[in-house]
Amino acid sequence: MEGRISLTLRVLTILILSLGSSLLPAQTRIMPLGNSITEGTGTPDITGYRKPLWGLISQYNIDFVGNENAGDNSGFDQDHEGHPGKTAAFIRDNLQGWLEQQSPDFVLFHIGTNDISNNRPTQTIISDIEASLDIIWNYRFDTRVFLCAIVPRKDGKDAQTRALNDEIWKLVLRRRDQNGNLIHFVNQYEAITGDPNWQNNLMWDSLHPNEAGYQLMAEKFESVLVRFLDPATPVELVSFSAFAERDAVTLQWRTDSETNNYGFYIEHSRDGEFFADAGFLRGFGTTLEAHEYEFIHRVNQPGEHYYRLRQVDTDGTTSFSKTIAVTVPLPATLALQQNYPNPVRPGSGTTISYELDTAQDIRLFVIDLLGRRVATIEQGYQTAGFHSLRWNGRSDDGMPVSSGSYFIVLENSATREVRPMQIIR
């Protein structure tokens, strides 16, 4: 690959995955924790989000745990720790015993609605929630907590709800820095308010969702949980690695066998929480042969980047790899790359890439052989990192630039970088 640097300069993160069909995934014990919204008030069978969530993730080896078991028993695990009418202080005071009895791997934590109803100060609620986090991690440091922004309400206390959710988000950020990736934010407020008519469509009363609302809560939980659940997958993924070189992250993975494998979506995130598709590579269907894959992702921001694979079967079933992280280093200095394509035909345009080691004011422009400015491409304050711009081959007055030799210039207050460019018509 062009611009390859030595291995010693690579920031290399490798994750070896053992997901073969001969290995059974470990069971994950999941504790739904909270108040009546966790129990399921607002649904006829008192199952809330728990029953639809079970349906969404039951293909994984999971066990809902808790001392309560409200709801019907039609094909789902009823166990939970949802306590109607209770506050964050009640959870704090009783949590230790529940943990000792159930030893959950995951905790789905939705609390605060009754605290707001009782006019408890936001910071008091946050203190109780944070105390519960300490209790959880003091009992088992490897427990994953999925802490929720609580659902909206229709009784005139939405401002208090939003204020609490803002503080919950800040708490997640603070504790995530202290505890790695053991805490995750689940925005259940957004899950409901995403419907412009949520008050009528998704609420059973002023505080509790209806069945449609709980379904959306379940889908929101599922979108986060699947990153950390370990299914038995028909694709035997034996390695997954990533390394960064300048503005590119190269992802490589290997399968020992594949069954009905449609392909892999490569997902990218900057915070390890919210992922978006970066690309797709088609799989090999059903095969007992080993196959290697490589995908190059162009990035323009230095820092931590997170990746995972979403493997899709031919029937639409999906499975996720573990998440890996790679660090993209800052550029060493201001630098201008050769444009591509070169020569340039007006109307087709060319891409101009450059690097900035710090945030700064820059000027990027085209001059002719006499040094006269022909076109201004970019000027002003730019962030540190990798940048690419498309120039359409036209001058500042909008006319196609004549054939000939030109120069691309990148400069700041102290440095100038120049690259030659040919234009043909």
Q: How far apart are CA 323 and CA 100, in angstroms?
A: 30
In this prediction, residue 2 carries a pLDDT of 33
First to last CA, the chain: 31
Pick among 3.40.120.10, 2.60.40.10, 2.40.30.10, 3.40.50.720: CATH of 236-328: 2.60.40.10
Q: Apex CA 161: angle with CA 155 and CA 162, to 5°? A: 125
Q: Rounded to whole angstroms, what are the CA distances from 350 to 3, 392, 423, 424?
A: 20, 7, 10, 12
| pLDDT at residue 177, rounded to an integer | 75
**Average confidence (pLDDT) over 122-149:** 96
Cα separation of 309 and 293, whole Å? 11
The one-letter amino acid code at 252 reads Q
Which pLDDT tens digit goes with each residue over 31-55? Answer: 999 999 999 999 999 999 999 999 9
Q: Is the pTM of this model over 0.85?
A: no
The backbone torsions φ and ψ at residue 225, rounded to the nearest 5 degrees and listed phi first, read -65, -35
User: What's residue 26's pLDDT?
Assistant: 61
Given a cut of 70, whether residue 371 has pLDDT beyond it is yes
Report the C-alpha gap between 262 and 66 in whole angstroms: 38
Domain at 28-229, CATH from 3.40.50.1110, 3.90.260.10, 3.30.70.240, 3.30.360.10: 3.40.50.1110
Q: Which CATH class is domain 335-423?
A: mainly beta
Q: Which residues pair with 296 in a beta bridge?
A: 250
CA-to-CA distance for 66 and 71, rounded, in angstroms?
13
Residue 360, φ and ψ in degrees, nearest 5? -165, 165
pLDDT tens digit sequence for 279-337: 999 999 988 889 999 999 988 888 899 999 999 988 888 888 989 999 988 888 899 99
Please name the residue that has the structure tokens 């929720």: 148
Q: How far is residue 26's CA from residue 392's CA, in Å, rounded to a whole number?
A: 55
Residue 398, pLDDT > 70, answer yes
What DSSP letter does each residue of 270-300 carry, written as one string? SSSSS-EEEEEEEEEEEESS-EEEEEEEE--
Domain ranges of the chain: 28-229, 236-328, 335-423
Angle (CA) 208-211-215 rounded to 5° is 100
Fold agreement between 236-328 and 335-423: yes
| Three-state DSSP state, 12 | strand
